[in-house]
Structure 1
Amino acid sequence: MIRKFILPLFLLFSIVSFAQNGSASPYSFFGVGDVKFKGTHEISAMGGVAILPDSIHINLQNPASYASIKLSTFTIGGTFNATKFNSNTANEKAQRSSLDYLAVALPMKKFGLSFGLIPYSTVGYKVKTEDVANNISKQYTGDGGLNKAFLGLGYQITPRLSIGTELAYNFGRIETNNIRYLLTAQKNGSQETNVSEMSGLTINFGAMYNAKVNKNTNFYSAITFTPQSNLSSNNQRDIFSIRYVDDFTSIPIDYLDTQTSKTTIKLPSKYSFGVGLGQSKKWLVGSEVTFQGSNTFSNRLSVANNVKYENAVKYSLGGFYIPNYNSFTSYFKKVTYRGGFRYENTGLVINDESIKDYAFTGGVGLPLGGTFSNLNLGVEIGRRGTAKANLVEENYVNVMISLSLNDKWFVKRKYD
């Protein structure tokens, strides 16, 4: 059994082991960073449609789905990202890899329990500008992010209706650096370092319902609701004089000031609703819409005058097709083929331009011989932001790989 998983595990960790900073985007400066988690890769490959009560895959977006798990399930996913940044003045490229989630789900008759860890958001950027007229160079860097450890429980009220709830503990650290120095031989200047340690609880509620339309077609629907919650942020700002070395590095010369504060970051409420039609173990077509309230947080210690927030909304459309999941003659007939599209207004407004994100998605689920486990491969090809108003347009490709491993645990022995 273990040998069947060696190659998929090697492929997964070869992607996620390069680096754990999952963002190179300048937009990750704002709020708690660039929100990377958009669902497990099986769902992301369908544009983010998360309406199916799956028995062998963990749906981390709706806790009601945990009640549908029939086997003990372990899942892990990672992404390799390649992005091209375009602005009115320059073009740059960046590559990143990241671990996206790690989770376990356990069936308990009408209940289902799930727990795990999700790197929820990430901060990672390096920006350099030069003011030749005033003989000054400015550099901005940031790293860190927010993680989520969660515990969820789903309950099957009837074979058609399930409900669930999930409690999460959010924690993380974000550090940003602003460096200014003179374009002279000595390169003397100043540096401001902001560090924020954040933590807080969130809760998520969900429900799923399905019904027969006819002999071969089912109707699926799902809703989720996440109330507004708070993060406590302990902040420290250090200002000191420096001598700039090279490649975003500097040598401190003298500390000028240190400030500490404690602030509250409000995470906005969010709810989603999705519907679809499909046939069990054969096909699914569905859509989902997610609404999020206006963000009320600023950047811990830094407030940008050209930034504001609005209500966010995301539209998803997608599905899957399995030619013959029980085929004995063709492996490719047992493969799950997925596709979708998503469009999102992120809620971030910079220089009066709403930052939007959209992507075409696709992927396959490859069965691992003789088991219900599978290796999932997916791709997202998308664009975020705009080059207008002195902003940055990001054209990205995300290559996703994940494992969903299934087995029977806690089986009582019949013979000693």
Structure 2
Amino acid sequence: MFTRFILFFSILLIAVSSSSGQEGSSSPYSFLGIGAKGFRGTVENRSMGGLGMFSDSIHLNLKNPAAYADLELTAFTAGATSNSVELQTNSSSDDIDYFTFDYLAIGLPFNNFGVGFGVKPRSAVGYELEERTATRISRFEGRGGLNTVYFSAGFEPFENFRLGATANYNFGDLENKAVIFRDQVQYASREINFTDISGFSFETGVFYDLKLSEKLTLKTSGRYETGSSLNVNRRRELATIQLGQNETEVVVNQIEIEPAETEIELPELYAFGLGLGQERKWFVGLEYENYTAGDFSNLGFNFGTEVIQKKANVLRLGGFYIPRYNDPVSYFKRIVYRAGIRYEESGLEYKGEDINEFGISFGLGLPAGRVFTNANLGVEYFERGTTSNNLIQENFISVFLSFSFNDKWFIKSKYN
């Protein structure tokens, strides 16, 4: 067992390092605030419209810590996504493909108590924008994002009622660059903002199941995430530059602005879910989320009068169906078939337009033998933004895949 812990921690360290360097977004809207949303749930969650109100004995639910109380086997999981995006305006379109690492997590059961820890992205920044007028060309680039290392615990104080809590350490860095070329001016001006962000946030969750009949169970859930303050250390570089070969930026003169320390405020989250199902057969659930307005205005460089952060609402509907989970003959009858739909307000208003999302998803849970207990495959089509007011609409096709491994690590010895 000790060897397994060492192996997992080694993988976790590699995952933290790689996730810090990955380009987790290609969205022009990641220019605003701390970037686009990074973690959208496990593959199982996302295949059901992002539904986070279902838990079982072998899968990790990273959206509600109360789910750790349901674990019966040690569960290890990792997931990744391949994204194909069409960026569309009123007059043109462009296509971008990119790949992201989504999460790495482990859950450990102890009777009616379970714990888990891992790493997942919180936000992602990745954009290249250009704006042209008769007298000026402006170019904007950004990279980076926030990652979260977390520790969760869940327990069952009495039958069918589970509670859980999570402590998150959020950390990361953003780099935002603006270069402006003016007509009949020899040199261009450049501003680079380097922003380091870190701090803790906390979550709680609850599940309660009510047996309606021998087969039917009513499931309810609740989640709350604190609106925590994160520390911000911001450094600026101002320079005049000229372009060399292959548009290499050659610095003519540069000054550094004294670093500034400030804070940003993450939004509070309230979520409630209600669902109906038959154990190991089918489930349908509806979940509502409400976010208060976050405050990222202290970032300054990407929060002008055109940007408004406000309350947001999310509605999710999803579920799964298993023809026969223990069928001894047919592999296809043991497959978990998932589907979902969601409508999501981002809480971001830009140039008078709400930047919202609508998505529909499908997925499969595939029994995979001894090496991996199961593999989970999903696909989602969703739209974000609008072409109104000269903005950009993003049309995503995301294919996500995860592998899960289950084992019993803690076995009481029967012999001395």
TM-score, structure 1 normalization: 0.92
Distance 1:245 1:301, change over 3 A: farther
Other-structure match for 1:73: 75
Distance 1:332 1:299, change over 3 A: farther
Distance 1:50 1:128, change over 3 A: same
Q: Report the Cα offset of residue 376 of structure 1.
A: 0.4
Q: Report the Cα offset of residue 411 of structure 1.
A: 2.5
Gaps of 5+ in 1: 1-12
Q: Report the Cα offset of residue 24 of structure 1.
A: 0.6
Q: Report the Cα offset of residue 153 of structure 1.
A: 0.6
Match of 2:29, SS state, is helix
Looking at structure 1, the residues matched to 360 and 219 of structure 2 have their Cα atoms a distance apart, in angstroms, of 23
TM-score, structure 2 normalization: 0.92
Q: Report the Cα offset of residue 207 of structure 1.
A: 0.4
Looking at structure 1, the residues matched to 195 and 23 of structure 2 have their Cα atoms a distance apart, in angstroms, of 17
Q: Which amino acid aligns with 1:317?
A: L
Other-structure match for 1:254: 253
Looking at structure 2, the residues matched to 246 and 384 of structure 1 have their Cα atoms a distance apart, in angstroms, of 37
1:334 aligns with 2:299: no
Equivalent positions of 1:46-195 (< 5 A) are: 46-131=48-133, 133-134=134-135, 136-182=136-182, 188-195=187-194
Looking at structure 2, the residues matched to 277 and 248 of structure 1 have their Cα atoms a distance apart, in angstroms, of 59
Match of 1:214, SS state, is coil
1:320 aligns with 2:316: no
Cα deviation, 1:108-151, whole Å, max 9, x if unaligned, reads 111100000011110000001222x21x3211000000010000
Other-structure match for 2:211: 212
Cα deviation, 1:41-88, whole Å, max 9, x if unaligned, reads 101100011222311111111111101011000010000111101113
Looking at structure 2, the residues matched to 40 and 248 of structure 1 have their Cα atoms a distance apart, in angstroms, of 41
Looking at structure 1, the residues matched to 252 and 246 of structure 2 have their Cα atoms a distance apart, in angstroms, of 18
Contact 1:187 1:244 in 2 (8 A): no
Contact 1:56 1:372 in 2 (8 A): no
Other-structure match for 2:32: 30
Gaps of 5+ in 2: 1-14
Q: Which amino acid aligns with 2:160?
A: R
Cα deviation, 1:215-252, whole Å, max 9, x if unaligned, reads 11111011001121000000001100111247775222
Contact 1:238 1:258 in 2 (8 A): yes
Q: Report the Cα offset of residue 256 of structure 1.
A: 3.6
Q: Which amino acid aligns with 1:234?
A: N
Distance 1:216 1:25, change over 3 A: same
Q: Which amino acid aligns with 1:322?
A: I
Contact 1:58 1:73 in 2 (8 A): yes
Match of 1:66, SS state, is helix
Other-structure match for 1:230: 229
Contact 2:47 2:379 in 1 (8 A): yes
Other-structure match for 2:357: 357
Q: Report the Cα offset of residue 189 of structure 1.
A: 0.6
Other-structure match for 1:9: none
Distance 1:229 1:248, change over 3 A: farther
Q: Report the Cα offset of residue 369 of structure 1.
A: 2.1
Matched residues, number: 399
Distance 1:333 1:217, change over 3 A: same
Q: Report the Cα offset of residue 263 of structure 1.
A: 1.2
Other-structure match for 1:10: none
Cα deviation, 1:301-360, whole Å, max 9, x if unaligned, reads 313221111101100000000000101111010000000001011100011111110100
Q: Report the Cα offset of residue 410 of structure 1.
A: 3.0
Contact 1:346 1:355 in 2 (8 A): yes
Q: Report the Cα offset of residue 94 of structure 1.
A: 0.8
Looking at structure 2, the residues matched to 247 and 137 of structure 1 have their Cα atoms a distance apart, in angstroms, of 17
Contact 1:73 1:405 in 2 (8 A): yes
Match of 2:333, SS state, is coil
Looking at structure 1, the residues matched to 299 and 293 of structure 2 have their Cα atoms a distance apart, in angstroms, of 17
Looking at structure 1, the residues matched to 81 and 247 of structure 2 have their Cα atoms a distance apart, in angstroms, of 26
Looking at structure 2, the residues matched to 376 and 71 of structure 1 have their Cα atoms a distance apart, in angstroms, of 18
Other-structure match for 2:404: 404
Looking at structure 1, the residues matched to 277 and 130 of structure 2 have their Cα atoms a distance apart, in angstroms, of 50
Looking at structure 1, the residues matched to 283 and 399 of structure 2 have their Cα atoms a distance apart, in angstroms, of 23
Distance 1:30 1:247, change over 3 A: farther
Looking at structure 1, the residues matched to 280 and 296 of structure 2 have their Cα atoms a distance apart, in angstroms, of 43
